[in-house]
Amino acid sequence: MSMLLRSMLVLAVTSLLMVGCGKKEEAAPVIVTPAPAPAPVAEVAPPVAEPGGYVPTAEERVPGITLDAAALDAVAPTVAAETAPEEAAPAAK
């Protein structure tokens, strides 16, 4: 080993021994402070049933994929008719 590597190894081992075997410090006393009183909780307003959410701009709309309000209104009866027979179908005996 070169002299530089040997001296670095000795320094590292010495510092580990000094830290591990050195004088231990006493832990500082822990001061417990009382917790502050909880803040009063404000009443939450009931949710409003307004339409919301993200509305894409004309540039972001993809023809045939992005549905606007008129297209949704046109599709709603079809979807309701497709799901109604499944839910209301009587059990066969």
CA nearest 67: which of 55, 59, 77? Answer: 55
Q: pLDDT per residue over 5-63, tens digit each?
A: 899 999 898 888 887 777 777 777 778 787 777 777 777 767 666 666 777 788 888 87
Q: Are 78 and 86 a contacting pair, CB within 8 Å?
A: no
Q: What's the predicted TM-score (pTM) here?
A: 0.26
